[in-house]
Structure formats: C-alpha cells, structure tokens
C-alpha cells in the first residue's frame, strides 16, 4: 500500500459538476490546493467526460511526478456519441457537451483500455491508485472481481501502486475487500456523521484482509458542509426529514463544544485507524482553504463521546 496524504482534493468539480467552470477557475482551485500543501488528487473519466482528468493532467505537468498522488477510476469507457445533436450537454450533472458517451465495461480488456485512456488524458505513465468505479451498476455477476483481477495484473506490471473499488454501494465495497486483491477502498457517503453503513461488516472485512479506507463525500453531498439548510443536498438528492433533524442535532451538539459542523464531518472518519485519507471537492479556492482549516481545527474528545452517548455515531472499534 502506498502512502496516501491525509487530505485529498476531489476533482469532480473540475469536470464542470453542476455548472461550467472556466479554465482559469479550474486552475485557481488546483493552485490553491497545491499552495496549501495538498498532494493527493482524485479524479475519474466519469467527471465531465474526461474533462477533469485533462485539466488535472495539464496542471500536474508543471510538477515533479514523485511529489503527488493521483487516483482515477475504471469501469466507464468514453466513446464517441453518434446521437449527439451538436448542442446537448451531458445528462449526468456535468455541464459539458455530450460529444462522448459512457460505456460501462468491467472486463479485463475494458479495464486496460480505460487505464490507457486515463493515463493519456492525465499525461502520466502510471497511476498511484486505481479504483473500480461503481461496479454495482454493471448488473453483471462477478464484475467487481473481474475488474480487480485486471487491476491486480496492472499492479504487478508497475502501472499502478494500489487498487480497490470506489463506490457508495456497501455490498460492492464488501465484495472488493473479500477478494483479497484490494489495497484500499474509496467509501463515498457511507462513513460520515450521518451514515455509518460501513459498521460493522465492512470494517471487519477491512481488518480481515488488511484493506485501508479513503473516505469521500464526507459532507453527504453538501448537507454537512455548513450549518444545515433545508435546500441542501443529501446523497445527491433532497434531504429526508429525519436526516435533516439528525443534522440539526449534530450541529447543535457541535456548537456546544465550539466546533463547526464541517470540521467534525471532515475529521470524524479519520478517527478510525483504517481510514488513511478524506477526500473533498471544492468549487472555489476559498473552499479548499476552508476545508483544510476545518481539518486542522481542534476537536475535544468529549464531543465524540457525547455523540456516541446520544447514539448519533457508533463506538469506535
């Protein structure tokens, strides 16, 4: 397992997630992260139909290769879209022309093609981490193991340092750990102050197979990124009433200890020694700096004890 910095920049916004980011805006986000000491960057072909990888690659071309860690993903091949009408934008939340389409492919040949394409967009000859991206979407039995076996071969060839799965599907993550092939799991939305679906089964599997965790989407799509707002998103959708009530309770208790809710959200998964890093995106340079400030904020142990006693989070095992 390679060393992974404690904080990583999630690069989905660089793919024009939810709105168009100009080239200067995207570069400013990356420059703010680098200047603040961020050295782990997570991307994927899915993010803006390759735009995120391309922008990240142009930025990293100015840096020494051994100074940073890059993770990207396999499972979605980008192919020409014959039905594009010349003006339509991507329908998955990325504001980019729909010139390309995503083709789910978790086969060995698909994995190798995906890695080759990603490395070309990134301008790299190797990746530090490769994740199987959302294998539960394939509908094909054995897709997770097939893709991981292909990644393990690439790891043996030196094309990648560490492999695993990136998903919000706990079953897919659990299946990954149990193959014995994975080094790390990117757990999205499922190890947060509002959702501890990893407990206990997935954590036990990580212990049994010596797998580490990168916790992503720790703000649950935005609800925990500030004081809870009714118009915020939770797991990419509207916030259920019971979830909003829990978020308000978390915010109130954090306030009693002088802790901002986003600081607690960022630091919560890092209390677990299985978690080696948290990854969070940013839509502006100030958000990068704010996230790093939250990550460094002091949090009294009494806060975690209080949350455990209120059954808002499980005991740390």
pLDDT of residue 133: 98
pLDDT of residue 179: 97
pLDDT of residue 91: 94
pLDDT of residue 19: 95
Please say whether the beta carbons of 22 and 14 come within 8 A.
Answer: no
Q: Is residue 54 situated within a structural domain?
A: yes
Number of domains in the chain: 1
Categorize the per-residue pLDDT at 250 as very low, low, confident or very high, splitting at 50, 70 and 90: very high
Q: How much is the mean pLDDT over the chain?
A: 97
Whole-angstrom distance, CA of residue 71 vs CA of residue 40: 8
203-245: pLDDT as tens digits = 999 999 999 999 999 999 999 999 999 999 999 899 999 999 9
Q: Is residue 254 situated within a structural domain?
A: no
Q: Is residue 308 situated within a structural domain?
A: no
Q: Decide if pLDDT at 38 tops 80.
A: yes
Predicted TM-score of the model (pTM): 0.97
pLDDT of residue 263: 98
For residue 160, give both structure tokens: 């990648």
Q: Is residue 99 situated within a structural domain?
A: yes
Furthest CA-CA distance within the chain: 58
Q: Could you give the angle at which helices 301-309 and 241-256 cross, rounded to 10 degrees?
A: 140
Please say whether the beta carbons of 144 and 176 come within 8 A.
Answer: yes
Q: Of the residues 47, 131, 191, 234, which is catalytic?
A: 47
Categorize the per-residue pLDDT at 317 as very low, low, confident or very high, splitting at 50, 70 and 90: confident
pLDDT of residue 140: 86
pLDDT of residue 236: 85
Q: Decide if pLDDT at 1 tops 80.
A: no
Q: Is residue 218 situated within a structural domain?
A: yes
The label of the residue with tokens 């102050």 reads 193
Write the CATH number for 203.
Answer: 3.20.20.100
Q: Is residue 120 situated within a structural domain?
A: yes
Question: What is the average per-residue pLDDT within 279-294?
Answer: 97
Whole-angstrom distance, CA of residue 125 vs CA of residue 118: 10
DSSP per position, the chain: -----SEEEE-GGGGTBSS---HHHHHHHHHHHHHTT--EEE--TTTTTTHHHHHHHHHHTTS-GGG-EEEEEESEEEEE-TT--SSPBPTTSB-SBTTEEEEE--SHHHHHHHHHHHHHHHT-S-EEEEEEE-GGGS--TTHHHHHHHHHHHHHHTTSEEEEEEEES-HHHHHHHHHHT--SEEEEESSSSSS--TTTTHHHHHHHHHT-EEEEE-TTGGGTTSSS--TT--BTTBPPPHHHHHHHHHHHHHHHHTT--HHHHHHHTGGGSTTEEEEEEE-SSHHHHHHHHHHHHS---HHHHHHHHHTTSSPPP-
Whole-angstrom distance, CA of residue 148 vs CA of residue 138: 14
Question: What is the average per-residue pLDDT within 3-9?
Answer: 97
Q: Is 104 exposed, middle or buried (0-12, 13-18, 19+ CB in 10 A)?
A: middle
Question: What is the average per-residue pLDDT within 152-157?
Answer: 98
- Segments forming the whole domain that contains residue 135: 7-226+262-300
Q: Is residue 249 situated within a structural domain?
A: no
pLDDT of residue 253: 98
Please say whether the beta carbons of 45 and 78 come within 8 A.
Answer: yes
Q: Is residue 172 situated within a structural domain?
A: yes
93-130: pLDDT as tens digits = 999 999 999 999 999 999 999 999 999 999 999 999 99
Categorize the per-residue pLDDT at 199 as very low, low, confident or very high, splitting at 50, 70 and 90: very high
47 is catalytic: yes
Give φ, ψ of 112 to 5 degrees: -65, -40
pLDDT of residue 41: 98
């Amino acid at each position: 397992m390679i060393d992974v910095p404690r904080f990583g920049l999630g690069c989905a916004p660089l793919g024009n997630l939810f709105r168009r980011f100009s080239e200067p805006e995207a570069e400013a986000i990356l420059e703010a992260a680098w200047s603040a000491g961020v050295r782990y960057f997570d991307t994927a072909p899915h993010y803006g139909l390759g735009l995120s990888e391309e922008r990240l690659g142009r930025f990293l071309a100015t840096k020494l290769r051994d100074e940073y860690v890059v993770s990207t993903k396999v499972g979605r091949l980008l192919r020409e879209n014959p039905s594009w009408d010349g003006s339509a934008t991507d329908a998955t939340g990325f504001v980019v022309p729909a010139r390309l389409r995503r083709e789910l492919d978790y086969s060995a040949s698909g994995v190798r093609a995906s890695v080759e394409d990603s490395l070309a967009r990134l301008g790299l000859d190797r990746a530090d981490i490769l994740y199987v991206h959302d294998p539960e979407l394939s509908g094909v039995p054995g897709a997770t193991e097939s893709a991981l076996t292909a990644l393990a071969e690439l790891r043996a060839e030196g094309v990648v340092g560490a492999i695993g799965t990136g998903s919000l599907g706990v079953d897919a993550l659990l299946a990954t750990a149990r193959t014995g092939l994975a080094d790390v799991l990117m757990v999205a939305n499922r190890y947060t102050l509002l959702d501890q679906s990893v407990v206990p089964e997935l954590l036990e599997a990580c212990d049994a197979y010596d797998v580490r965790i990168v916790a992503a989407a720790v703000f649950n799509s935005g609800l925990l990124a500030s004081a809870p707002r009714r118009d915020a998103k939770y797991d990419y959708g509207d916030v259920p009433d019971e979830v909003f009530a829990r978020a308000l309770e978390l915010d109130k208790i954090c306030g009693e200890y002088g802790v901002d809710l986003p600081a607690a959200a960022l630091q919560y998964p890092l209390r677990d020694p299985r978690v080696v890093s948290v990854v969070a995106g940013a839509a502006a340079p100030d958000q990068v700096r704010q996230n790093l400030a939250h990550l460094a904020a002091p949090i009294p142990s009494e806060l975690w004890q209080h949350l455990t006693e209120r059954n808002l989070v499980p005991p740390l095992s």
